[in-house]
Amino acid sequence: MLYIKLSSVCLVTIGVTTSAAASIGRVASRQDFTLLSDMCLNATQWAGFNPTSYSGYYECFSRVENDDGTADIYLNNVPDHTISVDAENPNQLCQLAQKITLPKPVKTNNNTRVPQADVIAIAVNGVQIFGPLEGGGDNAVYGVDGVGVLCDGHPQPAGLWHYHHPNIDCVEAASTDLVAWALDGFPIYGPLNATKDEVDSILDDCNGIDVADSQYGYQYHVRSRAQVNESLTTNDGPNNTDNWKYFLGCYRGETYTTTLTDSTGICANETTT
């Protein structure tokens, strides 16, 4: 049953820590988030959810770059667009205020695997982006029998809304649009307007490319579904890559010092519109 799969596998792994897991791109430390239980919507309430009019729930995203090149992102994981009701997903949408500290992005000479069913990036509307995996090893984007997670995302059991689909909010961003920040600190832009073969030759294993005159010198591009070979199986690509590289094929930077914590700062107190 899809319900079971969603509940058991598409989880945020709480409390994953330190170096043992670093080779698959886990963050350095992570604190359990506090469920703001009075700030949740159930499936029925989703139907009427409109972030611009629903008191108590609205987008929050703030990115502050520090002098040492690290960056603090404050987010609340509430999307800035209307969302679809998925009858097979019983989970609530909750406002979860968090702070993520990204390292100063440094391109390495090796690839690090991205987590498959956990956070890999933060969309610029303050909602987490997960790897490509859904329950039972299914591809979350095309799903079972072609029915995947819609491009407006879905919640995991703790109420954390997240995306798997490369068209965030069902909008195909331009290749010049910043859409997210990867947990290694590098920016992620919209898909290249090109065929899969062309993209394969332009982007590296991780979906990255050197951009000499940019602030960070390197950036990722989302791949559209047509630019991913969905016939391959997950995560056994060569060189630590994921075959279903909608957002990232791997990290080229490091996530050893990335932290994800509850936040009482910006975004934590947004209870009124």
Ligand X SMILES: *[C@@H]1O[C@H](CO)[C@@H](O)[C@H](O)[C@H]1NC(C)=O
Sheet holding 29-30, edge to edge: 29-30, 259-262, 98-102, 71-75, 61-65
Residue 218 phi, psi dihedral angles, 5° rounding? -160, 145
Strands 259-262 and 29-30: parallel
Binding mask 26-65 for ligand X (x = CB under 6 A): ----------------xxxx--------------------
- b/e map 210-235, b = 16+ CB within 10 Å: eeeeeeeebbbbbbbbebbeeeeebb
Nearer to ligand X by Cβ, of 8 and 239: the residue is 239
At 273, list the tokens. Answer: 């519109």
| Selected binder of ligand X within 13, 229, 271, 273 (CB under 6 A) | 229
Residue 43 phi, psi dihedral angles, 5° rounding? -60, -35
| Selected binder of ligand X within 85, 232, 271, 273 (CB under 6 A) | 232
Kindly state whether residue 261 participates in binding ligand X, applying the rule CB under 6 A: no
Nearer to ligand X by Cβ, of 111 and 259: the residue is 111
Nearer to ligand X by Cβ, of 9 and 196: the residue is 196
| Selected binder of ligand X within 169, 184, 204, 242 (CB under 6 A) | 204
Kindly state whether residue 257 participates in binding ligand X, applying the rule CB under 6 A: no
Q: What are the residues facing 102 on neighbouring strands?
A: 71
State how far the alpha carbon of 232 is from the alpha carbons of 162, 236, 237, 271, in Å. Answer: 24, 9, 9, 44
Kindly state whether residue 8 participates in binding ligand X, applying the rule CB under 6 A: no
Helices and strands per DSSP (H, E), number in the chain: 3, 15
Nearer to ligand X by Cβ, of 19 and 44: the residue is 44
Closest by CA position to 245, among listed 173, 166, 167, 127:
166
Binding mask 138-177 for ligand X (x = CB under 6 A): ----------------------------------------
DSSP symbols for 186-200? -EEEPPPSS-HHHHH
Binding mask 106-125 for ligand X (x = CB under 6 A): --xxxx--------------
| Selected binder of ligand X within 176, 201, 231, 272 (CB under 6 A) | 231
| Selected binder of ligand X within 18, 264, 271, 273 (CB under 6 A) | 264
Binding site for ligand X (CB under 6 A): 42-45, 108-111, 193, 204-205, 229, 231-232, 238-239, 264-266, 268-269
